[in-house]
Copies of this chain bind each other. A is one copy, B any other.
Amino acid sequence: MINKLVVKIQKTNAPIVVGLDPMLNYIPAHIQKKAFQEYGETLEGAAEAVWQFNKEIVDKTYDIIPAVKPQIAMYEQFGIPGMTAFKKTVDYCREKDLVVIGDIKRGDIGSTSAAYAVGHLGKVKVGDKTYAGFDEDFATLNPYMGADSIQPFIEVCREENKGIFVLVKTSNPSSGDFQDQLVSGRPLYELVGEKVAEWGETHMGDTYSYVGAVVGATYPEMGKILRKIMPKAYILVPGYGAQGGQGKDLVHFFNKDGLGAIVNSSRGIIASYKQEKYAKFGPENFGDSARQAALDMIEDISSALER
């Protein structure tokens, strides 16, 4: 799957991922209204609005992007109907041949980690049969519990040719509370980065590892160092756009082959119709607005990489 991701990035010439994080207030009124007419102002109604919104975004962008990243919290908040919308979204994106990165940030140990791994990337056994619960291509993971929390995922990834992105340095203001603490004079996130590189050696694709890392666009200097520590790890970069990151900040997240990083934007694309810059599209054409915002993001990053 890491090989597929690389090929798709090369084909589209777009090292970006569209974050499908559909907060209700991103979803235009006409979509919400229609969903509520059919299902009422219920969890089912909210889930239907989320699904219709996602479908339109995907239909209008799937040919120009390599990957999507649904943020499961935005679905989980709507209980079972929300989780069903998550699964429908994952399935639909895979039908459209998009690489699906489940932004689930799970982290647990032993048999519990294995249960998350089979549920999201692998197949669970029921009697003599096997089933894929959610079936994303990649999952994001939290490393706080150590190797015990990552290894069961790597085992499932080997069987399924799937991959993970481990949180190393996150994009939020308080990411430094623990990640930046100095251990023998070096920040903790560097140690985590070293572990990611080490784990990555055990499950390599053609040129990059199935074990990637998350490093926020908001910390470009740290990205530069982490790039060197984890030369074969694909870096998933959140924090572009709405959180403050720009194309020019991102060049050091990439390797000299022009690969090695994939930059996420959520709000900046899926809710772009709310920005003055894209207001001309109007809420009715939020999908076209998303396409234009994605094209602009690709251009911003490409031209920064060319310089």
Interface residues in chain A, defined as those with a beta carbon under 8 Å from any beta carbon in chain B: 21, 23-24, 32, 36, 41-43, 45-46, 71, 73-74, 76-80, 82-84, 87, 105-113, 115-116, 118-120, 124-129, 131-134, 142-149, 167, 170-179, 181-184, 188, 191-192, 195
Q: Given A126-B45, A145-B172, A148-B174, are A21 and B112 neighbors across the interface (CB < 8 Å)?
A: yes
Contacting pair A178 B174 (CB below 8 A): no
Closest B residue to A41 by beta carbon equals B127
Query: Which listed residue, B21, B87, B178, touches A80 by the CB 8 Å rule?
Result: B87
Q: Flag if B73 contacts A79 (CB, 8 Å).
A: no
Bound Cα distance A109, B214 (Å): 14
Instruction: Answer whether A115 and B73 are a contact pair too, CB < 8 Å, given A105-B106, A181-B183, A184-B182.
Output: yes
10 A-B pairs whose Cβ atoms sit less than 8 Å apart in the complex: A41-B126, A71-B112, A73-B115, A76-B133, A143-B177, A146-B178, A148-B174, A149-B172, A177-B195, A181-B181
Judging by beta carbons under 8 Å apart, are B74 and A115 in contact?
yes
Alpha-carbon separation in the docked complex, A131 to B80 (Å): 12
Known: A80-B84, A105-B142, A144-B170. 17 other contacts (CB 8 A): A23-B115, A41-B126, A79-B132, A105-B107, A109-B172, A142-B145, A144-B167, A145-B170, A145-B175, A146-B170, A147-B177, A148-B172, A148-B174, A177-B195, A181-B181, A183-B183, A188-B188
User: Which of B83, B87, B129, B178 is A42 in contact with, Cβ under 8 Å?
Assistant: B129
Chain B residues whose C-beta falls within 8 Å of the C-beta of A21 in the assembled complex: 112
A85 CB, nearest partner CB in chain B, Å: 10
Query: Distance in Å from the Cβ of A172 to the closest Cβ of chain B?
Result: 4
